[in-house]
Amino acid sequence: MNMISDPREHLVVIGNGMAGMRTVEELLKLPGGKRFRITVFGAEPHVNYNRIMLSSVLAGDKSIDEIVINSREWYEENEINLITGDAVKSIDRGARVVTSANGVTVPYDKLLLATGSRPPRPTYSGPGPAGRLRLP
């Protein structure tokens, strides 16, 4: 794909998880979805997998291949430029450019942040009775 002469708008997705890829799947079904060429950055080295089933992989009940949602072939078939194992580190909204930890710089027209969330961890004032945390 010749990026320079490609007239489509460039959608950059930060986060290759369930929410980000489901959004891309739905976008591709829309008539207007074809107006984008798409680049996806994923901090993890994997394709998109069902994170909810991760416990089954850790328990040895399933292989990582069995919980893959979108294979590498799916990205290729949909002409999605997938960059794995490389987290986006900065967004320059003025220049409309993202830069990754590996120094990859990609311009965008539309940017989708789908980086998940981290649960807040309560601070605690030290060990309480066995098996309990004492919150301040």
Contacting residues toward ligand FAD, per CB under 6 A: 14-20, 41-44, 51-52, 54-55, 87-88, 114-116
**Which CB atom, from 33 or from 111, has the smaller least distance to ligand FAD?**
111
Rounded to the nearest whole angstrom, what is the least distance from the CB of residue 4 to ligand FAD in the complex? 25
Rounded to the nearest whole angstrom, what is the least distance from the CB of residue 132 to ligand FAD in the complex? 24
HSE-CB for 76 with a 13 A CA cutoff: 3
For 44, the 3-state DSSP assignment is coil
**Which CB atom, from 68 or from 87, has the smaller least distance to ligand FAD?**
87
Rounded to the nearest whole angstrom, what is the least distance from the CB of residue 42 to ligand FAD in the complex? 5
Best CA proximity match to 42, nearest among 72, 2, 67: 72
Cβ atoms of 16 and 44 within 8 Å: the answer is: yes
Q: What are phi and psi of 107, to 5 degrees?
A: -80, 155
